[in-house]
Chains A and B, each alone.
Chain A
Amino acid sequence: GENVEQHPSTLSVQEGDSAVIKCTYSDSASNYFPWYKQELGKGPQLIIDIRSNVGEKKDQRIAVTLNKTAKHFSLHITETQPEDSAVYFCAAHGSSNTGKLIFGQGTTLQVKP
């Protein structure tokens, strides 16, 4: 069935270092891949997304890459700051006829000052 695997489950970096979170998906029809940041007690916040016709997208310190052949995509955060500490979720959207997002298990990112 549809599945999204996310690694690592926890990630600890020093302030200023880079952080990379990786996801793989099973449904080859998936064509939209958002990333969400969830802080304690809050709902997931969309931080960046990428569609299947694009291989890479960047927004300031955040970038996402997509490899459709291998069915994996990654989130890259450069120059990490303590306020980047949160749980990050990747997700995959199915074909255009489906409405649901399938989420990974989440990565808890800790940025140490």
Chain B
Amino acid sequence: DAGVTQSPTHLIKTRGQQVTLRCSPKSGHDTVSWYQQALGQGPQFIFQYYEEEERQRGNFPDRFSGHQFPNYSSELNVNALLLGDSALYLCASSSLGGARETQYFGPGTRLLVL
């Protein structure tokens, strides 16, 4: 049973560029949440997607946007990158039909903005 997968594993961009990160949820899960983890800190919630719609959003600017596809996979897009966007981006999946609060994380994508 495959867990949560994310791609790419690492990414280097320059300020002002745009980036797209991808996530495939755990088998049987239909909900995807995205988190940003700065070095030495706990993950911060960006947003959550269910039924291809954004259910809830954390305190992140509109430069951060997302999408969920019919197969439940998801993308995180960040426009106009800033140096402060350098972080580990984590995807977590859960099941709305079951114990939906239980979230399982992928390995993350480490983004470096130069």
Contact = CB atoms under 8 A, between A and B. Distances in A.
A42 B92 CA distance: 13
Given A102-B45, A105-B41, A106-B42, A36 B56 contact: no
Interface residues of A, number: 24
Contact of B108 (A36, A43, A89, A104): A43
Nearest to B42: A103
| A interface secondary structure, majority | strand
Nearest to B4: A43
B59 to A, nearest CB: 9
Contacts of A91: 42
B35 to A, nearest CB: 8
A36 B58 contact: no
A42 B56 CA distance: 25
Contacts of A105: 41-42
A43 B101 contact: no
Given A99-B56, A106-B42, A44 B105 contact: yes
Contacts of A31: 101
B56 A43 contact: no
Contacts of B31: 99
Interface in A8-58: 31-32, 34, 36, 42-46, 49
B48 A100 contact: yes
Interface in B63-77: none
Contacts of A42: 107-108
A31 B75 CA distance: 29
Given A32-B101, A49-B102, A99 B42 contact: no
Interface of B: 4, 31, 33, 35, 40-45, 48, 50, 55-56, 58, 90, 92, 100-108
Identify the 4 closest CB pairs spanning chains A and B, nearest first. Answer: A103-B42, A99-B48, A100-B45, A43-B105
